[in-house]
Structure 1
Amino acid sequence: MVIGLVVLGGAFVQRNLAQKAAEASLPKGCNARAFGEIGGPLSLVNQDNVAVTEKSFQGKPALIYFGFTSCPDICPLSLQTMTQALDVAKAVPGSKSEAIQPILISLDPERDTPAVLKAYVASAGFPASLQGLTGTNEQIAAAAKAFKVGYRKSVPEGAKPEDYVIDHTSIFYLMDSKGKLATFFSSDPDPKDMGICIAAISKQGL
C-alpha cells in the first residue's frame, strides 16, 4: 500500500511539473485555466434545427460565447473579436487553430429561433463557420449553469416589455476536443493577445 501511494504521489508531482512547464511556455497573460467544473452536458438545437449535445462537438475544439441576437452592441462586438482572434491564431506558424469550432449559444430562446440564428450567424464580420445554438428555456438554463454563465431579462426604461434585453456574463470559453475547458477570456479581450494565446495553447494539443 505504501509503495502504491509513493508511486501515485510521484506521478501526481510529475504531472504538476509538466503542467507548470507547459504553462511557463505560454505567452505572458495566457493561462491554461482548466477548471473541471466549467462545461458539461448540453441538449440544444442548432441553426438548422438539428438536435445537438456536447458529444456533437467532441473530437474538435470549440470557442464558445453566450449571447443573443437582439443584443445591441456587446454580442456583435464580441463575435467580431472572436473572428479577429481566430484569424490571428490561424496565422501563427505551427498553430493548430484551424480545427476550432466557433459557437454562439443564445440566452434568448423566446426570440432566437433556429431561423433567426441562421440569419444572424451569417452576418458579415462573424466567424465564417459560426454555429448558433438555442433551445427551450430549461435547456438554455441548463447550458448556462454548466458554464457558470449569469443572465437575466431586463426592460430598459421607457421600453415596451417585448423590447427586453438580456444582461449576461460576457466570456469566451476555449474547450478542447474532449469537451474540457482549456482556458477562457473575460469580457473585451485584445483580439491579438487572445489569438496568440489560442495559437500557443493549440500547439500544446487541443
Structure 2
Amino acid sequence: MTGRSLWIMLGVTALLAIGIAWMRFNAPPSGNLAGSSLGGAFALTNQDGKPVTDKDYAGQYRLIYFGYTFCPDVCPTDVGYISRGLADFEKGQPARGARVTPIFVTVDPERDDVAAVKAFTAAFHPRLVGLTGSPAAIDAARKAYGIYAKKVATSDPDNYLVDHFAVIYLFGPDGAPIAFLPHGSTPADVTAMLETYVR
C-alpha cells in the first residue's frame, strides 16, 4: 500500500467515524411509530380497583410500559427512568407535562392483583397509573400493543419470572401511536422524547 493510499484510507475512516458520531448525537430521540397499528381499546382495572378503559385517558399523551411487579431488575429500572424523565420534563414544561399520563400495565395478572400494582406504582411517579385485570383482558391488551410475554419457570413455582418485551411507548391524545424507546433508554431519553412530541 502506497503512502497516498494509506492517507486516503485514513481519511475515509475518519469521515465514517464523524458521520456515525453525527448520527448518534443528532438522530431523533426515539423510534417513530406514526402510522403503525399498535394500540387500541382495553378494559382493565387500575391500582385503586376501579374499572378503566382506554377512553379514560382520551385527551392525554400516554407513556405506556408493560412489565410486572415481581420483576427483579428490568421493570423497576425502566419504570424508574420513565418516572424521572417525566418529572424532569414536568419541571421544565409544567403545562405540557400535565398532558402526559404514565401507565404501567402488568404482564403477570396471576400475581399482580390491585394491591400489588398499587404498592409498585406508589414507589415511582405520583401520577403513575397501574393496570391489571383478568388473564384474558391482559392478553388482549398485550397483543394489541405488540407485547410478547412468557412465564419462565424457576426452582420455586411461586417465584417464576416473566420474559417480556420491554419498551416505552408514547401514544397521543387520540390514542394513536407516536414513538417508542427501547430497554436501556435513560431518563434523559424519556425527557427528550417528550420534548420532541408532546405539544
Change (3 A) 1:112 1:93: closer
Deviations 1:48-105 (A, max 9, x none): 1111111111111110100011000000001110012112322445871222111100
Give matches, 1:80-95, under 5 Å: 80-92=80-92
Counterpart for residue 29 of structure 1:
28
* Paired residues of 1:39 and 1:181 also in contact (CA < 8 A): yes
Name the SS of the counterpart of 2:198 in structure 1: helix
Counterpart for residue 66 of structure 2:
66
Structure 1: distance between partners of 2:119 and 2:184: 24
Query: Identical aligned pairs, as a percentage?
Result: 32
Query: Following TM superposition, by how much is the alpha carbon of 1:160 offset from its aligned partner in structure 2, in angstroms?
Result: 1.2
Give matches, 1:102-121, under 5 Å: 102-121=102-121
Q: How many residues align?
A: 173
Structure 2: distance between partners of 1:100 and 1:70: 26
Structure 2: distance between partners of 1:94 and 1:200: 15
Aligned amino acid, residue 130 of structure 1: L
Name the SS of the counterpart of 1:96 in structure 2: helix
Per the normalisation by structure 1, the TM-score is: 0.79
Bigger radius of gyration among the two: 2
| 1:193 corresponds to 2:189 | yes
Give matches, 1:57-206, under 5 Å: 57-92=57-92, 96-123=96-123, 126-156=124-154, 159-203=155-199
* Paired residues of 2:107 and 2:149 also in contact (CA < 8 A): yes
Per the normalisation by structure 2, the TM-score is: 0.81
* Paired residues of 1:150 and 1:169 also in contact (CA < 8 A): yes
Q: Which runs of 5+ in 1 are unaligned?
A: 1-26
Structure 2: distance between partners of 1:114 and 1:94: 30
Structure 2: distance between partners of 1:137 and 1:110: 7
Aligned amino acid, residue 72 of structure 1: P
Aligned amino acid, residue 189 of structure 2: D
Alpha carbon RMSD of aligned pairs, Å? 1.7
Structure 2: distance between partners of 1:115 and 1:93: 32
* Paired residues of 1:35 and 1:181 also in contact (CA < 8 A): yes
Counterpart for residue 17 of structure 1:
none
* Paired residues of 1:90 and 1:199 also in contact (CA < 8 A): no
Aligned amino acid, residue 177 of structure 1: P
Change (3 A) 1:92 1:107: same
* Paired residues of 2:170 and 2:177 also in contact (CA < 8 A): yes
Name the SS of the counterpart of 2:71 in structure 1: coil
Structure 2: distance between partners of 1:94 and 1:144: 31
